[in-house]
């Protein structure tokens, strides 16, 4: 259901909810959510300017989604993107790397950017430079797209 989705500049997408998110009752909870909000803030976005979602609503984070699962959820992602009217998509995590067909389909609607998941950045801070460089590209795109 996309009726509750408000307009956003960016749609932030993780592959599936983390176990902590189920317990907290919200996506990107705890230190992962704080880091994500801080990264968005660093490029001038408030939490309200981002539509945060997951590609697979019920998937277990321990399981690696296959292409069929990703493709099956693509229409829902396209509907969320259309409802949010986001100009860009920020994909979080390695799970999207092998899913090029689905990502390219979504990219036809909005420009896609890809960074390591904030949970991984907390475990592997050496990846933050790579994430920052991609976030700066996202910021430049949003500034040019105004």
What's the DSSP call for residue 41? H
In this predicted structure, the answer to whether residue 63 has a pLDDT above a threshold of 90 is: no
In this predicted structure, the answer to whether residue 119 has a pLDDT above a threshold of 70 is: yes
CATH classification for the domain delimited by 10-144, as one of 3.40.50.300, 3.40.50.10860, 3.40.470.10, 3.40.50.1000: 3.40.470.10
Average pLDDT of 118-138?
A: 95
Which of 7-11, 34-38, 51-55, 142-146 has the lowest average pLDDT? 142-146
Q: What is the pTM for the complete model shown?
A: 0.91
130, 93 contact by CB (below 8 A): no
18 φ, ψ to 5°? Answer: -80, 155
Between CA 70 and CA 11 the distance in angstroms is 17
- Coil, strand or helix: which one is 65? coil
Average pLDDT of 71-89?
A: 91
For the chain, what are the domain ranges?
A: 10-144
120 burial (CB, 10 Å; 0-12 / 13-18 / 19+) is middle
Kindly indicate the confidence band of residue 59, based on its pLDDT and cuts at 50, 70 and 90. low
In this predicted structure, the answer to whether residue 124 has a pLDDT above a threshold of 70 is: yes
């Amino acid at each position: 259901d996309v009726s509750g989705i408000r307009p956003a500049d960016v749609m932030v997408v993780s592959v599936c909810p983390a176990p902590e998110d189920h317990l907290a009752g919200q996506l990107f909870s705890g230190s992962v959510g704080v880091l994500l909000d801080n990264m968005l803030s660093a490029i001038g976005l408030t939490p309200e300017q981002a539509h945060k979602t997951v590609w697979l609503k019920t998937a277990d984070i321990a399981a690696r989604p296959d292409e069929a699962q990703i493709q099956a959820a693509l229409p829902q992602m396209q509907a969320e993107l259309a409802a949010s009217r986001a100009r860009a998509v920020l994909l979080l995590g390695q799970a999207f790397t092998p899913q090029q067909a689905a990502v390219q389909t979504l990219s036809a609607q909005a420009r896609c950017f890809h960074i390591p998941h904030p949970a991984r950045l907390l475990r592997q801070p050496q990846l933050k430079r790579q994430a920052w460089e991609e976030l700066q590209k996202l910021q430049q795109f949003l500034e040019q797209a105004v």
